[in-house]
Amino acid sequence: MVDNRDEIYEGDERRFRVVAALIRKGSRILLTQRWPGKHAGLTWEFPGGKVEAGETDHEALQRELSEELGIEVEIGSCCFETCHGYGNREVHLLIYRCRIVTGEPQAIDVKAVDWTDVSELPLRNFPPADAPFVQELVAGRIKEFEDDEKAQEPELEAAEEEFKPAKVVRRPT
């Protein structure tokens, strides 16, 4: 597990570390809709949220998914990372491959939950920070969370340990 506690932007209210989950069911992806009246209200996003001081990415992701959707997940590798500026604020977004181990996603602390086919993702309205990830998903460049694949191909496991997610950096203007 990555211990990123030193990377939390304590005292800097303009910078946030956010973690999100890529959860698949066949060709469908789990999305949540933000509440109206909030920043980027009514947009669709990958479930997750802000990493609080003292939390690791994994702890924050488990907490957010439990609070917002009532699920527990197995967290895999980080498959995407970006920094995006929203005016005078900057979001450092990390997306992890996840698999549901208990529960069925429910809209507990989000407006809505939907399983959306990958081919339909471009039809959804996403926050700007998510747009590059959506493009990568639609293009088929984001691999799935697969235990069976690892068991059949041991060299794949070593390659995944060396994998570093693409970094897209956009600074506030």
Consecutive 10-residue averages of pLDDT for the chain (173 residues): 49 83 96 86 92 95 98 96 88 96 97 97 94 94 65 43 50 48
Q: Please give the pLDDT value at position 89.
A: 86
Question: For residue 157, what pLDDT is reported?
Answer: 46
CA pair distance 17, 93, nearest whole angstrom:
6
pLDDT value at position 87?
Answer: 81
pLDDT for residue 167: 54
DSSP state of 35: P
DSSP state of 88: T
Distances 93 to 16, 20, 101, 119 between C-alpha atoms, Å? 8, 7, 24, 23
Identify the DSSP state of 57.
H
pTM for the model: 0.79
All structural domains of the chain, each given as residue ranges with its CATH number in brackets, are 15-165 (3.90.79.10)
Residue 47: closest CA among 119, 125, 106: 106
